[in-house]
Structure 1
């Protein structure tokens, strides 16, 4: 399977989306009037969500590339991704926040986890492209100029 490297603009856009999403979420948490334990809950949820989505993307990619992946880890990755989203949804549903604030946290969260998956995909695509170039590179040959 021939892999094409992602463009620099796509790579930078995905990194920017991750920084913007996670940064906005963090700034929102810092500036809210929640109790400290609530802020900690929402901070842990985004960290758990980012990790679980990167792990899920890695597992799916490993499986697609024929790299051995245990069924239990594959299942745990899917469950963990779903649980992290469910925990955010349950937390926001029960939070005493304005609807606009709940929407803000939900959108920043979704942007962050999507961008984390995209950044991980770009990393894997770049690695695959680099290893593909190494294995298909032709040996250098001396060229002589006939006079």
Structure 2
């Protein structure tokens, strides 16, 4: 194929209408969904890799792992309870309250653990704190995106 033919074919491709994938109303963009998943995976992976490479005792590693899992679960649970309540889906006050308390306790446990960790340097404490917060926020965002996508598709 000659260079002229290749240039002509490229120009024809530019003139062809592009197929646009329709997004439902209220559905998050693919870029936002991808960014949310990336933030969750990066936050959790960084936290776990840091924990794996840490020189602390195995029971300390278990503590920080359990706090991460507890925090992720409580953040998603709270987001669901808040969203259900906002949309008029019945949520008991006890579940709503427990969801708030669980998230606050997980954050408090992380803060207390990092404050009392004598074997961890300050920069490592900051790393664990930021990876923890990133993971919690990303978990909430991913759950919200999943719910928004399901809701947008059910409407149509």
Q: TM-score, normalised by structure 1?
A: 0.88
Shift of 1:132: 1.0
Give the total of aligned pairs: 132
Please tell me the root mean square deviation across aligned C-alpha atoms, in Å: 1.0
The aligned counterpart of 1:41 is: 63
Shift of 1:3: 5.4
The aligned counterpart of 1:137 is: none
The aligned counterpart of 2:137 is: 114
Alignment of 1:12-51 (within 5 A): 12-51=34-73
Structure 1 residue 132 corresponds to structure 2 residue 138: no
CA offsets 1:12-64 (integer angstroms, 9 cap, x no match): 00000000000000000000000000000000000000000000000000001
Query: Whose relative contact order is higher, 1 or 2, with alpha carbons under 8 Å and at least 6 apart?
Result: 1
Which of 86, 90, 95 matches 1:64?
A: 86
Structure 2: distance between partners of 1:84 and 1:3: 35
Structure 1: distance between partners of 2:72 and 2:31: 22
Q: Which has the larger radius of gyration?
A: 2
Structure 1: distance between partners of 2:73 and 2:86: 20
Q: TM-score, normalised by structure 2?
A: 0.83
Structure 1 stretches lacking a partner, 5+ long:
134-147
Structure 1 residue 8 corresponds to structure 2 residue 24: no
Structure 1: distance between partners of 2:155 and 2:29: 16
Structure 2 stretches lacking a partner, 5+ long:
1-23
Structure 1 residue 105 corresponds to structure 2 residue 128: yes
